[in-house]
Structure 1
C-alpha cells in the first residue's frame, strides 16, 4: 500500500524537472550558495 503523504504532487514533480533542467541532469549538493541563488531567482521582483 502506498502512503499518499509521500507521493509527489504534479507541482513537486515540475519543480524537480526544473531543478534537473537547470543543473543539466546532474545531482549537485544543495549548498548554502546554491539555495540563496535559487531563492533570489525565484523571488518576486520589487518595483
Structure 2
C-alpha cells in the first residue's frame, strides 16, 4: 500500500507547509527543530 494514500488532507497540507518554510530542503527533525515548531504552534497565553 502506498503510504501517501494513508495521509489525510490536513497531513498533506502540513507537509506542503513544511516544504515551503524549509525552502524545498529536507532537513532532518532535530530536537531543537521539533521544539521550535511546537513553540510556534502552541496557543499564546494572555
With the length of structure 1 as denominator, give the TM-score of the two structures. Answer: 0.84
Unaligned runs of 5+ in 2: none
Gaps of 5+ in 1: none
Q: Report the structure number with the largest CA radius of gyration.
A: 1
Show the counterpart of 2:21: 22
2:36 corresponds in structure 1 to 37
| TM-score, with length taken from structure 2 | 0.86
Residues paired across the two proteins, number = 44
